[in-house]
Structure 1
Amino acid sequence: MLVSESRPTFDAGSAEPEAIKAIPLRRPGRWIAAIVVVVLVALFIYGAATNKAYGWDTYAKYLFDKRISAAAWVTLQLTVLAMVIAIVLGVVLAVMRLSPNPVLRSAAWAYLWLFRGTPVYVQLVFWGLFPSLYKSIDLGIPFGPQFAHFDIQTLSAAFTFAMIGLGLNESAYMAEIVRAGINSVGEGQSEASTALGMSWSQTIRRTVLPQAMRVIIPPTGNELISMLKTTSLVTAVPLSTELYGVARDISGTNFQPIPLLLVAMTWYLAITSILMVGQFYLERYFSKGASRKLTTKQLEALAKAQGLGAPQTGGGAV
């Protein structure tokens, strides 16, 4: 907010009024709050840096330890693979929820009810006990030919079931995100596709989903980051080769849990930062056409085409 020092005066011999000298309002409260925040942050940093209980020497020793970096790679693999399962299955479930077939709608609703209504830690414990329930899985016709045989006991059970458990749980949330994105597309788009002779499935795949990506991408990026942090719960499977599990095992041998927790937090923050950068560029790619800035040349060409003459210099938003 600006406060004028004096009223503008007009000179009869001048075509323009005298310029207003504007003085910005002073806001001491904002500066005081900013100073308080800076002082508190500085005090915390100084206190943490001088506190020997943090074990900064141990932190520096294990920050780039081969076991920690290998565990970070396992965590990243687990995150990406589980998220791929969640996205693919989430799209299928969202389409089923919107399907005119009542059986598909009911099956999708029951799936979401089950996986959203139970804690992810409990689900991971169940998947850890899955080899105790089934020794092998045979796919085929009862009393007929078998198409596939899976020996559960020979699988890399911990990693595989942790990935499946995380993916199935996350797919229930991704289904709602995709469904919200599909519902954000105007009905006119579906009507136009139907008028062109497309079936319902073709309309979803070719018309609705590509336009819904602008709404789907931001929450999907958030879910990916959340998935990265949720991998710390796979100790319930049990899987101890991921980042938190390895840091916990190391701290169990040197009896210094605080610096090892700081090491794990640093790696989580580093991976999260990379994922946030990727999310930013992905959002910008899919938001093309929603709003854009026009350069001076584009504005001049647009004005010339409309017969309005050359506009003032400077870009503008359309």
Structure 2
Amino acid sequence: MNIITDYPDLWRDALVGTLVLFFGGAVIALILGVIVGAMRVSPIPVARAVGTVYVNWIRNTPLTLVMFFFAFCVPLLLPGRANFLVLAVWALGIYTATYVAETIRSGINTVPVGQAEAARAIGLTFGQVMSLIVLPQAARSVIPPMMSVFIALLKNTTVAAGFSVVNLGNIRAEMSENGENQLLTIVWVMVFFVVMVLLLAWLQRVLENRWRVAR
């Protein structure tokens, strides 16, 4: 435990950085992913085309390149001092949103088409059909794959370490400079990630049980 108790500020900053990257990226990914997922099944051809291009373009681009674009290209486009933590959050959110969108789309496809047709027959708009009829039912089936997406997001936060963003991914280098055992540092980083993943798995079970009762 000395490797943690001797450097409490370093571990605290690294853990906070990881949590900020995760929760910030998750919020962006969830909001943007739901919008893009709805666009993917929209009856409007232009909306479907934009959603398809976005998903295929971003999802097939390595996260490192997306992070590179936000770290080095976006600051050139926006005036003022760049906040690399904020840019990394946006990079993670925009990248993960493609997987959220596909998960949402697969959940929407599990809802019987007749329900959407019946809702449109009584005069509901596409937005009302999605928000009131389709998405609430789709949410029940997408909880396990959605949690897998967020677990992947949590692990992807370490990519930001290569762009000077403090998180658990770059604490090994800090410990190395202080002469600490790098292998032991990596083991503790693994412990932190395992605990966080187990918490997400617990949240998944809670949500699944709650939705199962709601049925």
1:254 is displaced (CA, Å) by 0.8
1:68-87 paired onto structure 2 within 5 Å: 68-87=11-30
Q: Distance in 2 between matches of 1:250 and 1:263?
A: 12
1:253 is displaced (CA, Å) by 2.4
- Percent sequence identity is 29
Give the AA of the match of 1:258.
L
Q: Which residue of 2 aligns with 1:173?
A: 99
1:168-207 paired onto structure 2 within 5 Å: 168-207=94-133
Contact kept? 1:124, 1:236, Cα under 8 Å = no
1:255 is displaced (CA, Å) by 5.0
> Which structure shows the bigger proportion of residues in strand conformation?
1
Q: Distance in 2 between matches of 1:63 and 1:274?
A: 21
Pair 1:122 & 2:65 matched: yes
Q: Deviations over 1:93-123 (max 9, x none)?
A: 0111111111111111111111111111121
Q: Deviations over 1:10-29 (max 9, x none)?
A: xxxxxxxxxxxxxxxxxxxx
1:131 is displaced (CA, Å) by 4.6
Change (3 A) 1:201 1:131: closer
Q: Which residue of 2 aligns with 1:26?
A: none
Q: Deviations over 1:185-241 (max 9, x none)?
A: 0112112212332112111110000000111111111111111111111123331x1
Q: Which residue of 2 aligns with 1:105?
A: 48
Pair 1:91 & 2:17 matched: no
1:289 is displaced (CA, Å) by 4.8
1:132 is displaced (CA, Å) by 4.7
Give the AA of the match of 2:160.
V
1:8-27 paired onto structure 2 within 5 Å: none
Q: Distance in 2 between matches of 1:72 and 1:255?
A: 18
Q: Which residue of 2 aligns with 1:52?
A: none
Q: Distance in 2 between matches of 1:218 and 1:231?
A: 20
Q: Distance in 2 between matches of 1:209 and 1:135?
A: 36
Change (3 A) 1:79 1:191: same
2:203 to 278, 300, 304: 278
1:170 is displaced (CA, Å) by 0.4
Q: Distance in 1 between matches of 2:17 and 2:162?
A: 16
Pair 1:288 & 2:213 matched: yes
1:264 to 180, 189, 201: 189
1:226 to 120, 145, 152: 152
Unaligned 5+ runs, structure 2: none
> Which structure shows the bigger proportion of residues in helix conformation?
2
Pair 1:210 & 2:141 matched: no
Q: Deviations over 1:131-182 (max 9, x none)?
A: 552242xxxxxxxxxxxxxx3x1x4x21011101100000011110000001
Unaligned 5+ runs, structure 1: 1-59, 137-150, 291-318
Q: Distance in 2 between matches of 1:237 and 1:168?
A: 17
Q: Distance in 1 between matches of 2:204 and 2:78?
A: 41
1:252 is displaced (CA, Å) by 2.9
Q: Which residue of 1 aligns with 2:2?
A: 61
